[in-house]
Structure 1
C-alpha cells in the first residue's frame, strides 16, 4: 500500500480553510468523499461530485440526468492515472456549491503502526452546513461578529454556539478521521 498526500482548499472562502491529508493511493472515491467530509467538518448531508480531466465521478442517477461515473467503483489512483491530473475538483452540496480544490502531493510508504486516512494539518473552520454557500457564509460571519446586527441573535440560536472562523476543531476532526481509519483498516489474514 502506498500513501498519497492531498492538500484540500475550500475555494472562495476567507479566512482560508485548508486540510492536509494522507490517504491510501488506492482509496475509492466514495471513501475519499467521506474522508473529506470528516476532515472538513461537513455532515455528509448533500450530494457530491469529483471532476478531473473532463470526467466526473459521484452517485450516478440516470433519472436525474447525471452521467457521473460511479465513485464507489473508482480509486484515486485510477483517476490520477487515467486523467494525469495533479489537481482534482470536489464539489459538495450542489445548492450551496462548496467547491474544493484537491492538490495531489507526494506518494510515500505508510508509516508502520499508523492508520490511514490521516489528517496532518488544518487551517480555518469550515462553514456551517446550509448557510447559503460563499455569499451566505460572508453574511453569517458578519452577523455573528456584530451583536447589533439584526440577524445576530437568530443566527447564534441557529448555530447554537460562538463561531470563530480562524479556529478549526482539529481534535474533533482528527478523531472523526481516526474512526474512519479504524473502520477501514485492512483485516489481518489468519494463518492456520
Structure 2
C-alpha cells in the first residue's frame, strides 16, 4: 500500500498576527511523533506538557503517576498507541494544547491527504508565517505585551523584553527550510 502523506495547517490560536505552519507528515506517524512535528515546526522546545483533543477524545503522553487529568475524571488515551491516519482524514481538525501554564492552543487542519512522492523525504515544512512566541512568555496575553514592547523603543518594557528574547528574535521571521531541517533531525 502506498504511503499516505497528510498536509496539515497548524495555526496558533489566540494571537494576532497569525502564526501558522503548513507541514507534510506521514499518516503512519503516531500522535507522539506528530507532537514533535508541531514542536519543531513552531519553534517550541518541548519543555512542557501537551495534549491532543480529537473529536472530544483526549490523547497525551502516558502518565504513570496519574497527575495529569485534562478534564475532571478523564484519563487521556496514550498518544503512543494512536496513528494520525486512524483518527483523521481530509478536512479533519485536531486540537493540540501545549504548556498548561501558558496554554498555547493550536488548530491542526488536515488540508489534504495524498500519496507520497517516491523521491521526497518527510516530514517537511512547506510554508508558514511569523516566529512562534518564546517559551514562558505568559500565553497569548504575554505575547501581545511582548509584541507591543518590541515594536516601540519608548515602551517602558522595551529594554527588558529585548534583553529577555535576545537581539536575534524577530516576531515577523520564519524560515520553512530551517523548520524542515529540525523536523528531519528530531522527528
TM-score by length of 2: 0.89
Q: Following TM superposition, by how much is the alpha carbon of 1:178 offset from its aligned partner in structure 2, in angstroms? A: 2.4
Question: 1:115 maps to what in 2?
Answer: 121
Structure (1/2) with the larger helix percentage: 1
Q: How far apart, CA to CA, are the structure 1 residues paired with 2:186 and 2:170?
A: 26
* Alpha-carbon distance in 2 for matches of 1:166, 1:119: 17
Superposed CA offset, 1:23-74 (max 9, x none): 1111100000001101010111111100011100012325215311111111
- Is the Cα–Cα contact under 8 Å of residues 6 and 105 in structure 1 kept in the other structure? yes
Counterpart of 1:15 in structure 2 is 17
Query: For structure 1, which runs of at least 5 residues remain unmatched after alignment?
Result: 182-192
Deviation larger for 25-34 or 110-119: 110-119
Q: Which residue is 2:167 aligned to? A: 161
Q: 1:30 to 1:164 in 2, by over 3 A?
A: same
Distance 1:65 1:172 in 2: 33
Deviation at 1:165, TM superposition (A): 2.2
Match for residue 63 of structure 1 among 50, 63, 66: 66
Q: Residues of 1 paired with 2:111 and 2:15: CA distance?
A: 22
- State the aligned residue count: 179
Measure the CA separation in 2 of the matches of 1:154 and 1:49: 32
Aligned to 2:34: 32
Deviation string 1:128-161 (CA, Å, 9 cap, x unpaired) is 1100000000001111111222221111111111
Q: Which residue of 1 aligns with 2:53?
A: 51
2: distance between equivalents of 1:8 and 1:38? 12
Q: Does 1:101 align with 2:104?
A: no
* 2:141 aligned partner: 135
Query: Any conservation in 1 of the 2:126–2:176 contact (CA below 8 Å)?
Result: no
The 1:159–1:74 alpha-carbon spacing in structure 2 relative to 1, beyond 3 Å, is same
Counterpart CA distance in 2 for 1:99 and 1:65 is 17
TM-score, normalization: structure 1?
0.87
